[in-house]
Structure 1
Amino acid sequence: MLRGSTVGLRARHEDDIPILRTELYDDVVNGSRAEGGPWRPITPGSEDARLVVDDEDQARVPFSVVALDDGTLVGSASLWGIDNHNRSAHIGLGLLPSSRGKGYGTDVVAILCHYGFAVRGLQRLQIETLSDNPAMLRAAERNGFVREGVTRSSAWVLGEFLDEVLLGLLAQDWKQDPRGAAGARPS
């Protein structure tokens, strides 16, 4: 497990999937805002490609996010679009509704930066988020990400086009927590 100040990132467990599916993806509004395509229901009992781990897929590393104080599942996180040639990847995360507003997002981004830069040796990490997602923008900027641009009206979400913000962080600009927090303490 990779540990931050308040949360840890661990391998996805089979019993995480029904919780993540119900709380993150069965919600039409949340699912529509989190995905790049239209929301659609997934048949109960079927495999959901967004949640099932494919250990052969070298371009995506999914994690379950757990609270360090009690081990409760609080969300999902991943490095995706991993490009080993250009040494870059994208960061994605989703927190369960009951876990939002507690600072977990900032900690998750910090842990993913540690994993991407220190463990994987990547040069660049990137985040794309809707412009009306202040929590993700704050989490990214608190970890040193810089706004690199806005793609205007590029995301179709529930009947309207929304802007997306592109943020980037380079390895040489990353400031790892000197106390070893934010992902530097594997267990």
Structure 2
Amino acid sequence: MLKGSKVGLRARHEEDIPVLQAELHDDVVNHARAQSRPWRPITPGSKASAFVVDDEEQGHVPFSVVELDGGTLVGSAVLWGIDTHNRSAHVGLGLLASARGKGYGTDVVAVLCHYGFVVRGLHRLQIETLADNTAMLRSAERNGFVREGALRSAAWVMGEFLDEVLLGLLAEDWKPASGARPQDGLAPGCADGHLGPR
């Protein structure tokens, strides 16, 4: 498990899937705001669920997010679109409604940065999010991500086009905050906020 100051990122367990499916996917508005694909119902137990892990897929590394204090499942995180030639990837995550506003989002981004830059040796991480997702923007910026541009009317969300913001972070610009526990194998970093993948 990779540990931050509040949450841990671990392998997805089979029992996580129905919880993530019900809390993140089956919330139509949340799904529409977090994903670039249209929402559709998924039968419980279906292998079509986005939360089912394909261990053979090398360009997509999903994690379950758990509280360090007690191990309660609080969300999902992913490094996706991993490009080993250009040494880049995208960051995404979604927190259960009960876990938002507790500082977990910024901590998850910090752990994903550590995984991307230190464990995987990547050079660039990128986040795309809706322009009105202040929690995602705040969590990204607290971890050093820089706004690189806006994609006007790029996302179709619940009957309207919304702008997206593109944020990037390079390995040499990443400055982990103080407060991490080196014995956990994670560079420092955490703060406050929640976010969902876009």
Q: TM-score range by the shorter chain?
A: over 0.9
Alignment partners' CA distance in 2, 1:95 and 1:22: 12
Alignment check: 8 A CA contact 1:4 1:184 kept? no
Alignment partners' CA distance in 2, 1:55 and 1:164: 30
CA RMSD of aligned residues (A): 1.5
Tell me, what secondary structure is at the counterpart of 1:111? Answer: helix
Alignment partners' CA distance in 2, 1:166 and 1:46: 32
Which residue of structure 1 aligns with residue 112 of structure 2? 112
Q: CA deviation at 1:185?
A: 1.9
After superposition, what is the alpha-carbon deviation per residue over 1:137-186, rounded to whole angstroms, capped at 9, x for unaligned?
000000000000000000000000000000000000001245444x8724
Structure 1 residue identity aligned to 2:74:
V
Tell me, what secondary structure is at the counterpart of 1:76? Answer: strand
Which residue of structure 2 aligns with residue 17 of structure 1? 17
Alignment partners' CA distance in 1, 2:183 and 2:132: 31
Identity %: 74
Question: Where does 1:155-174 land on structure 2 (aligned, <5 Å)?
Answer: 155-174=155-174
Alignment check: 8 A CA contact 1:2 1:184 kept? no
Which residue of structure 1 aligns with residue 184 of structure 2? 185
Which residue of structure 1 aligns with residue 84 of structure 2? 84
Tell me, what secondary structure is at the counterpart of 2:148? Answer: strand
Which residues of structure 1 form unaligned runs of 5+? Answer: none
Tell me, what secondary structure is at the counterpart of 2:135? Answer: helix
Structure 2 residue identity aligned to 1:101:
G
After superposition, what is the alpha-carbon deviation per residue over 1:112-152, rounded to whole angstroms, capped at 9, x for unaligned?
00000000000000000001100000000000000000000
TM-score (ref. length: structure 2): 0.90
Q: How many residues align?
A: 186
Which residues of structure 2 form unaligned runs of 5+? Answer: 187-198
Which residue of structure 2 aligns with residue 56 of structure 1? 56
Alignment partners' CA distance in 2, 1:108 and 1:25: 19
Alignment partners' CA distance in 2, 1:75 and 1:176: 22
TM-score (ref. length: structure 1): 0.96
Is the aligned partner of 1:133 residue 2:133? yes
Structure 2 residue identity aligned to 1:102:
K
Alignment partners' CA distance in 2, 1:85 and 1:15: 35
After superposition, what is the alpha-carbon deviation per residue over 1:50-98, rounded to whole angstroms, capped at 9, x for unaligned?
1111111010000000000110000000000000000000000000000
Relative to 1, partners in 2 of residues 1:140 and 1:111: Cα closer, same or farther, differing over 3 Å?
same
Alignment partners' CA distance in 1, 2:125 and 2:86: 11
Tell me, what secondary structure is at the counterpart of 1:19? Answer: helix
